[in-house]
Structure 1
Amino acid sequence: MMGSIMRKFKDKTDKRALMTRNGATVLKELIASSHGKYNPYRIFSAKELEIATNNYDEIKIIKQDSTYKLYKGFWQERLISVMRFRESNRDEHGSCINNIVYAAQMSHNHILKLIGCCLETQIPILAFESVEFGNLHDRILSASQPQIEPLLMKHRLKIAMDIAHALAYLHFGFPRPIVYRDFKTAHILFTEENVAKLFDFSLSISIPEGETHITTDTVIGTWGYSAPEYLSTGVFNEKSDVYGFGAFLFELLTGQIISDLLKAAHNLGCPLEEYFKKFIEDNSFTEIVDRIIIQDILCLRKEQQLHAYAQLMSECLKQSPIVAITYEPSYVQILCTPVDD
């Protein structure tokens, strides 16, 4: 009896200690990066999130990678998504705090909204708005999902523009630009079939005041999406995200994963931008376009949009690219023009 009481007392003491440590860390980082402006969020208990996910039932996994699993959850008659980091690596504590700090500052229709977090576990557990339709990587590049309608050209253009606005918001919507730093299709989730949300701020960082770039000794990110100049020098800024956006556009256009596209370019001895240009110069552009898009092009306006899309992609893949998604040159305006079905 005494042993049971002591264990319960110890559990409560441990939880208080973790909440104090995690809460202090989150508050410190929020103050440092958000200038005191961030969205309110709820503090969950560990038990509440266990119940919400049916004790983290594997059937409820929406997405997972080497650092975390994202679960479907149900809390107070509301669907939520629960992000639980693996506790085997201490580095994940920093990634988790980063997610809380940056997600708490976001107020954008195409960035996944943070609802709350649990601070009484070794690594905090995060709760977001519901995403039940998977990620873009699985949707278009790998998994066959016949129950979901194919992504036609109009859908892909909408996803591209929505995510472009989300990136522009990170770069220009805050006192200091936020570099997302790990842009890829696996980090684009769907709240409805074609409503895209940018997710996962594990590697995001703000450009320091008075600086135009950041230099790191260790290059981090995902191979294929990282800008060549960042890989060679360790120097990065918002334009590194623009290159990643260009790689994303290439995947969206071709229906192929970026690693396969890079291997094909490497076999020809050229960078990704030059590989794409070869198809333009040889008048064989449609050979690399996803067959679903080719079948969908039935009018001149759609063909114009396809070529405008290709031009934007080419600009983004250039070394030291222009911030095309913000300045909105003519080809971006064409992308924004609705097309009748």
Structure 2
Amino acid sequence: MGSILRKFKDRAYKKTLMVRNGATVLKELIASSHGKYNPYRIFSAKELEIATNNYDEREVIKQCDFYITKLYKGFWQERLISVLKFDESLPDSVYKYSINNIVYAAQMDHKHILKLIGCCLETPIPILVFEYGEYRTLPERIGHYRDPQPRPQFEPLRLKHRLKMAIDIAHALAYLHVGFPRPIVFRHFIPSRILFNEENVAKLFDFSLSISIPEGKTHVTHRGMGIWELCAPDYKKIYVFNETLVINEKYDVYTFGTVLLELLTGQGARDLLLTYGSVRHLIEYLNNYLENNRFTEIADPIIVQDLSCTGKEHHLQACARLTLECLNESPVYRPTIVDVAKDSDKFIALFHVINLLYSSFFMFSFSPASISTATRLFE
């Protein structure tokens, strides 16, 4: 009799949570997207327990900052999935992060943003289910973050791979900024928010802190939140006093610059700040190396030693200049992410042209086909 009563109470409790969470998600989703969002599946708590082997700690893909979330590897209907679970013992703010994730992820339709498959609404804090993205985060792929759990080993990331990743993510951010009636500021763009699938395609994920700019406005005011070392100076200055601040797309541009810096140097932002003391000193050092054509001295040795890359110094210099533009102390002088994406496209096109012509040179001929291919890259 007691077990039947417990089952009945459990069922009633889950139904209450479903109604509360479902109503909250629907309300926020309609307000944010005007009813235009992708269909997603509703999972039961039991389905996700089975899919993750009862949230087996050995299946954790990554543990997010401050232990707020864990991303688990799961298996559902003969396909691999990623399950994002929030720590239910934390305050109400975590509930808001979960809802925010669902609201924004449900609107995304971009090959470089991790696709939302569905969510579970019958738990105190909703659980999200995404396409599979277990092939490490960007810090792990670069090598400046060591995961205690054994993972598959990958070849070192060459410059062409890093340029491709930067371009792909720049296009994903540009999609957020200009692909919606209300521009979306990702606001938590850090290297650990970039995952890879089995095809080595970079995927942006986790919309916990994302926010939309109201229609007809150029910015939104909000309380400061973010990773201290990676915050833009204009953002950090007000964050110290825990006040509201102006947020627009240029904040994402700044954090994109920090990611570019990590791609070029192979070092984490925190490590770089420990070495140089402050962002301002770091930028002064970068400028000095650039002006004296010595950037290879602080570039990732994997890039510098890559003999397969022709025109390497030119690409490093160009990317470093773009990085410094993104890290400009004043948001007014930072480029838009659309401009960044266009410049990045030019870098990779030039990279391919140089390597194409270099290969043709060693074949002792510049074939019409190779010249035609090079021309198309700039069309």
Per the shorter chain, which TM-score range?
A: over 0.9
- Kindly indicate whether residue 348 of structure 2 is the aligned counterpart of residue 335 of structure 1: yes
Which residue of structure 2 aligns with residue 34 of structure 1? 33
TM-score for the superposition, normalised by structure 1? 0.94
Q: 1:170 is aligned with what amino acid? A: L
Identity within the alignment, %: 61
CA distance in 1, matches of 2:307, 2:237: 39
Which residue of structure 1 aligns with residue 372 of structure 2? none
Q: 1:40 is aligned with what amino acid? A: P
- Kindly indicate whether residue 134 of structure 2 is the aligned counterpart of residue 124 of structure 1: no
Q: Deviations over 1:298-334 (max 9, x none)?
A: 5543332222211211111112143353125656512
Which residue of structure 1 aligns with residue 140 of structure 2? 138
**Aligned with 1:115 (options 114, 117, 122):** 117
Greater shift after overlay, 82-91 or 274-283? Answer: 274-283
Structure 2 vs 1, CA of residues 271 and 243 (structure 1 numbering), >3 Å: closer, same or farther? farther
Which residue of structure 2 aligns with residue 325 of structure 1? 337
CA distance in 1, matches of 2:199, 2:284: 33
Partner secondary structure for residue 192 of structure 1? coil
> Is the Cα–Cα contact under 8 Å of residues 182 and 225 in structure 1 kept in the other structure?
no
CA distance in 1, matches of 2:195, 2:338: 22
| Alpha-carbon shift at residue 151 of structure 1 (Å) | 0.4
Partner secondary structure for residue 280 of structure 2? coil
Structure 2 vs 1, CA of residues 295 and 106 (structure 1 numbering), >3 Å: closer, same or farther? same
Q: 2:84 is aligned with what amino acid? A: M
Matches for 1:283-322 after TM superposition, within 5 Å: 283-298=293-308, 300-318=310-328, 319-320=330-331, 321-322=333-334
Structure 2 vs 1, CA of residues 219 and 271 (structure 1 numbering), >3 Å: closer, same or farther? farther
**Aligned with 2:167 (options 161, 166, 174):** 161
CA distance in 2, matches of 1:297, 1:254: 17
**Max Rg structure:** 2
- Kindly indicate whether residue 262 of structure 2 is the aligned counterpart of residue 251 of structure 1: yes
**Aligned with 2:271 (options 260, 265, 270):** 260
Which residue of structure 2 aligns with residue 83 of structure 1? 84
| Alpha-carbon shift at residue 110 of structure 1 (Å) | 0.3
Q: Which runs of 5+ in 1 are unaligned?
A: none
CA distance in 2, matches of 1:248, 1:229: 18
Q: 2:338 is aligned with what amino acid? A: T
Matches for 1:34-53 after TM superposition, within 5 Å: 34-53=33-52
Q: 1:260 is aligned with what amino acid? A: D
Structure 2 vs 1, CA of residues 87 and 203 (structure 1 numbering), >3 Å: closer, same or farther? same
RMSD: 1.9
CA distance in 2, matches of 1:85, 1:203: 14
Q: 1:143 is aligned with what amino acid? A: R
> Is the Cα–Cα contact under 8 Å of residues 62 and 132 in structure 1 kept in the other structure?
yes
| Alpha-carbon shift at residue 297 of structure 1 (Å) | 5.0
| Alpha-carbon shift at residue 238 of structure 1 (Å) | 0.3
Q: Deviations over 1:201-239 (max 9, x none)?
A: 0000001122211223x4211122211111124322100
**Aligned with 1:192 (options 175, 180, 198):** 198
Corresponding pairs, count: 338
Q: 1:227 is aligned with what amino acid? A: A
CA distance in 1, matches of 2:324, 2:349: 18
Which residue of structure 1 aligns with residue 371 of structure 2? none
Structure 2 vs 1, CA of residues 336 and 17 (structure 1 numbering), >3 Å: closer, same or farther? farther
- Kindly indicate whether residue 221 of structure 2 is the aligned counterpart of residue 208 of structure 1: no
CA distance in 2, matches of 1:35, 1:113: 20
CA distance in 2, matches of 1:163, 1:8: 46
Q: 1:55 is aligned with what amino acid? A: N
Q: 2:154 is aligned with what amino acid? A: I
Q: 2:141 is aligned with what amino acid? A: R
Greater shift after overlay, 130-139 or 235-244? Answer: 130-139
Partner secondary structure for residue 112 of structure 1? coil
- Kindly indicate whether residue 181 of structure 2 is the aligned counterpart of residue 175 of structure 1: yes
Greater shift after overlay, 205-214 or 274-283? Answer: 274-283
- Kindly indicate whether residue 291 of structure 2 is the aligned counterpart of residue 281 of structure 1: yes
**Aligned with 2:94 (options 92, 95, 98):** 92
Which residue of structure 2 aligns with residue 16 of structure 1? 15
Q: Deviations over 1:167-191 (max 9, x none)?
A: 0000000001100001110000011
| Alpha-carbon shift at residue 279 of structure 1 (Å) | 1.5
CA distance in 2, matches of 1:85, 1:198: 18
Partner secondary structure for residue 270 of structure 1? helix
**Aligned with 2:233 (options 215, 228, 236):** 228
> Is the Cα–Cα contact under 8 Å of residues 308 and 332 in structure 1 kept in the other structure?
no
Which residue of structure 2 aligns with residue 5 of structure 1? 4
